[in-house]
Structure 1
Amino acid sequence: MVYRLLVLDIDGTILRSNHRIDKAVKEAIEYVKRKGVYVTLATRRHFSSAKKVAKALKLDSILITHNGAFVTDDIESPWLEERISEQEVDGITKLLENNQCHVRIKHERFSLANRIKQNQEIIAKMTIGDPLFYPINFTDELNEYINESPISPLQIEAFFNTKLEGQVIQKAIMERFPNVEVNMYDNHRLEIVKRNVSKGRALLKLAEHFDISQDEIVAVGDSEADIDMIREAGLGVAMGNAPSEVKQHADWITRSNDQNGVAYMMKEVFRKQLRLQIRSL
């Protein structure tokens, strides 16, 4: 099979556990690009953060960021953007703050968060894996803040002490706000995006733009947020460090992120493939 589009998750996939990129990964990406394959990233990260990683990898591709809600190569000219309405943000934020969880509202240019007064463990969870390459404003009363300055963001994240707490709020939001998707990740983090937004759906739209079929896509990831793009791709690859529920949807399981799993996969999959041509944007 000839593959024309390669999409890679960032955290737990490209990055090692110490959040560094191995030289072997950079070399493998260059190797695949020389064959004419379009290489891009798909991540839950903020666009500015993903752009920093793309620059380190020498990628000028259209990036799938905010878990599929913001797709572009230029923050000034979004190729695809799916926003939560101001009214929904108001209602969801009010519900979340009434349950004393820690909230982050993520716009492509900045983030808003309620001020954390306790629980340093949750503070760490809110920042790890997503370095702050963008402004973040903290406020004691988040709902009051957005009432004064309404916002239509790409994502809302909420962090809980326990999975059960998160599941209770997840159910409440899904019942009251049918136009959003609510997913629980990492046993403590709720992510809210506009309905029908995901990495997989954004990936298919990008492939359609380049006239690339699903069979010609390779998608690599390690988390539950990557499952739909792994399933949609012609070759869905799970990292060796991925949980079992991710691996069961993959066509192939590579080595872990600390064992150069991405570099190994690229060399194995693309070594016999001849150079291709792809239509530019």
Structure 2
Amino acid sequence: MAYRLLALDIDGTLLKSNHRLGKETKEAIEFVKSKGVYVTLATGRAFPSAKKVAKSLKIDDNYLITHDGAFVADDSENPIFERRIESSKVYQIVDILENYHCHIRLLHEKYAVGNKVHHKSQLIARMNVGMGDPLFYPVNFVDSPSHHLIDQPLTVPKIRAHFWNEVEQQDAMEELEEAVPDIRLTSSEHGSLDITDASVSKARGLQVLGKKLGIPLKEMVAIGSYDNDAEMVAQAGLGVVMGQSSKELKSMANWITRSNDQNGVAYMVREVFRKQFHPKVFK
């Protein structure tokens, strides 16, 4: 099988634990691009944040699958697919989340609205809630997002909450599942709760992009590392997971590479795409 598209998760996949792109990873992406493989990002991050990573990889002109598949675009003004949570449901979700000790972010494709964090360690809180947001992605911090929404209703592709207590996180998930219909709850890292429309997934985003480019799923390689990557990994022609991923996610994969701190993406490219293209540089 000749693979024509490579879809990459960002956090835990492309980026190391220090949130940096390794030189080997950049070279591997440059290699597959030079062979005509279409490279995209499939991420839970908001569009501006994904765009920043794409620019580092020199793929910022390509379509990106962002907000866990709720927003697929090459620029924020002209998405080829978007699925928003309607304003009344956004308010309902936020109203529930505000009963728990968590940080809430309403992730629009151009900006975010978040609650001010009150945590015993403000340094830890800032590190957790700020991770993945580029400096140019405006975040409006308010005392109460629900009060803000009364005056300024908002539709968003995704809502994200970060919890410091696993019991509270589980309780919030159960309450949301019971009270709010037609939403999807996933997690992209420890402590996170990611909320989108029920019809949204990275796999759906890949299907939309494949239709746009004329590339079927069987000719795609998808690499992920966390729960929100499961459907994408299962449906791609070659589903790859990182070495540090859970046993459950690994059971869905066709191929398991090294961890993100061991340059797992670069290793996969050498082992899989070398056989497809036989480049001298990787002999």
Which of the five TM-score ranges fits, normalised by the shorter chain?
A: over 0.9
Matched pairs, number: 275
CA contact (8 A) 2:101 2:168 kept: no
Q: 1:125 aligns with which of 122, 125, 128?
A: 128
Answering whether residue 240 of structure 2 is matched by residue 237 of structure 1, we say yes
CA contact (8 A) 2:52 2:134 kept: no
TM-score of the superposition, structure 1-length normalised?
0.93
2:73 matched to which residue of 1? 72
1:159 matched to which residue of 2? 162
Q: Which amino acid aligns with 2:16?
A: R
2:114 matched to which residue of 1? 113
CA distance in 1, matches of 2:68, 2:50: 11
Change in Cα spacing, 1:130 to 1:243, as seen in structure 2 (3 Å) is farther
Q: Secondary structure at the match of 1:151?
A: coil
Kindly, what percent of the aligned residue pairs are identical? 49
1:215 matched to which residue of 2? 218
CA distance in 2, matches of 1:85, 1:56: 33
Change in Cα spacing, 1:254 to 1:184, as seen in structure 2 (3 Å) is closer
2:196 matched to which residue of 1? 193
TM-score of the superposition, structure 2-length normalised?
0.92
Q: What is the CA-CA distance between 1:98 and the residue it aligns to?
A: 2.5
Q: Which sits farther off after the overlay, 178-187 or 7-16?
A: 178-187
Q: Which sits farther off after the overlay, 240-249 or 105-114?
A: 240-249
Change in Cα spacing, 1:119 to 1:69, as seen in structure 2 (3 Å) is farther
Q: Which amino acid aligns with 2:29?
A: I
Answering whether residue 33 of structure 2 is matched by residue 33 of structure 1, we say yes
Q: What is the CA-CA distance between 1:255 and the residue it aligns to?
A: 1.1
Q: What is the CA-CA distance between 1:31 and the residue it aligns to?
A: 1.1
CA distance in 1, matches of 2:203, 2:277: 27
Q: What is the CA-CA distance between 1:196 and the residue it aligns to?
A: 1.6
Change in Cα spacing, 1:79 to 1:158, as seen in structure 2 (3 Å) is same
How far does the alpha carbon of each residue in 1:98-153 deviate from its partner, in whole angstroms, 9 at most, with x for none?
23432111101111111112233444322224444300011112111111011101
Answering whether residue 92 of structure 2 is matched by residue 91 of structure 1, we say yes
Q: Which amino acid aligns with 1:233?
A: A
CA distance in 1, matches of 2:143, 2:217: 46
Q: Which amino acid aligns with 2:88?
A: Q
CA contact (8 A) 1:4 1:36 kept: yes
CA contact (8 A) 2:187 2:226 kept: no
Q: Secondary structure at the match of 2:239?
A: strand
CA distance in 2, matches of 1:132, 1:157: 18
CA distance in 2, matches of 1:185, 1:270: 27
Q: Secondary structure at the match of 2:276?
A: coil
Gaps of 5+ in 2: 279-283
Q: What is the CA-CA distance between 1:52 and the residue it aligns to?
A: 0.8
Q: After superposition, where does 1:130-145 map in structure 2 within 5 Å?
A: 130-145=133-148
Q: Which amino acid aligns with 2:64?
A: L
Q: What is the CA-CA distance between 1:178 and the residue it aligns to?
A: 1.0
CA distance in 1, matches of 2:187, 2:24: 33
Q: Which portions of structure 1, spanning 4 or more consecutive aligned residues, are displaced by more than 4 angstroms?
A: none
Gaps of 5+ in 1: 276-281
CA contact (8 A) 1:122 1:161 kept: no
Q: Which amino acid aligns with 2:58?
A: K
Change in Cα spacing, 1:37 to 1:64, as seen in structure 2 (3 Å) is same
CA distance in 1, matches of 2:275, 2:135: 40
CA distance in 2, matches of 1:119, 1:225: 29
How far does the alpha carbon of each residue in 1:204-251 deviate from its partner, in whole angstroms, 9 at most, with x for none?
221122222221110001111111110011111111122222211111
